[in-house]
Structure 1
Amino acid sequence: MTTSGDNSWQTGDPEIDRALSQFMAETAGFEEVRRQIEETRGRGEGANGQVTVEVLATGSLATLRIDPRAMRLGSEVLAETILEAVRQAEEDVTNQMTALTQPLIDPSWGDDRR
């Protein structure tokens, strides 16, 4: 397809051209949401910020930062802290994904939030 400013796709049939124009506008909206999803990262932390994590929309761990002070927590507490930070990050990315995709499923979603 061509850009929205390019009219070379027009067929000359007003009904078909209207439908194609509407389809192209909707497709552009989906493409923007796809781009935003690719950039979405969930964040979580533990031990007062001594452990921070980021996860991608796919659920993959993107970053893990452990402040040297967190080593004093001991291995078991540190492991639990990391897992809790990951759970927070997963919840965060899930909430972001819902906010991005819900309007595509239900266009009236969020009207009461304004």
Structure 2
Amino acid sequence: MHTFDADPANWRDEDLEQDAEKAAKILAWVGDGQRELDEITGTGEAADGQVKATTAVDGLVREIVITPRAMRLDSRSLAEHLMLAVGRAQDDAERQSRQLMTDALADLVPDGGPDPQAIEEQIGRLLRSFERP
């Protein structure tokens, strides 16, 4: 792996070809990766499985399931269990999306590339930028 040199006089043809191949792989993954990200759903439960939630990777709630037994809870407890299940589903979707990104980067970045922990932190910051207030 070579380091980037901003001076074009020092660019080598083989380095440019390798960079072009990497860029092509990344661009191909962006299309596929976005489809894969869009298909991720997170699941979470609360109240011993009486309240279940499914969310999309963007955090939006796709489904809520409340068992008849959970309907006997007072409204405050039910609301807390709903929020807990949704939060767990969102965490699950985020974990899956981070894993997808980490796996993709491992395939695209050769050994000796950027630190995986640093990449994970950058991905986390990127994903948090899409969170709703």
TM-score for both structures, normalised by structure 2:
0.60
| Separation in structure 1 between the aligned mates of residue 101 and residue 21 of structure 2, nearest angstrom | 22
Question: In the alignment, residue 30 of structure 1 is paired with which amino acid?
Answer: V
The match for 1:55 is 55
| Separation in structure 1 between the aligned mates of residue 41 and residue 22 of structure 2, nearest angstrom | 31
The match for 2:86 is 86
Note the 1:1-114 alignment, pairs <5 A: 23-105=23-105, 107=109, 109=116
The match for 2:122 is none
Query: Paired residues, what number?
Result: 97
Alignment RMSD: 2.7
| Separation in structure 1 between the aligned mates of residue 50 and residue 57 of structure 2, nearest angstrom | 23
Unaligned runs of 5+ in 2: 1-13, 117-133
| Separation in structure 2 between the aligned mates of residue 88 and residue 48 of structure 1, nearest angstrom | 13
- Describe the shift of the 1:78–1:17 C-alpha distance in structure 2 as closer, same or farther (beyond 3 A): same
User: How far apart are residue 18 of structure 1 and its match?
Assistant: 7.6
Unaligned runs of 5+ in 1: 1-14, 110-114
Question: In the alignment, residue 93 of structure 2 is paired with which amino acid?
Answer: V
| Separation in structure 1 between the aligned mates of residue 22 and residue 47 of structure 2, nearest angstrom | 50
- Residues 26-57 of structure 1 deviation map (CA, whole Å, 9 limit, x = unaligned): 32222221111000111100112111101111
User: How far apart are residue 25 of structure 1 and its match?
Assistant: 3.2
- Describe the shift of the 1:105–1:23 C-alpha distance in structure 2 as closer, same or farther (beyond 3 A): closer
Give the match's secondary structure for 1:59: coil
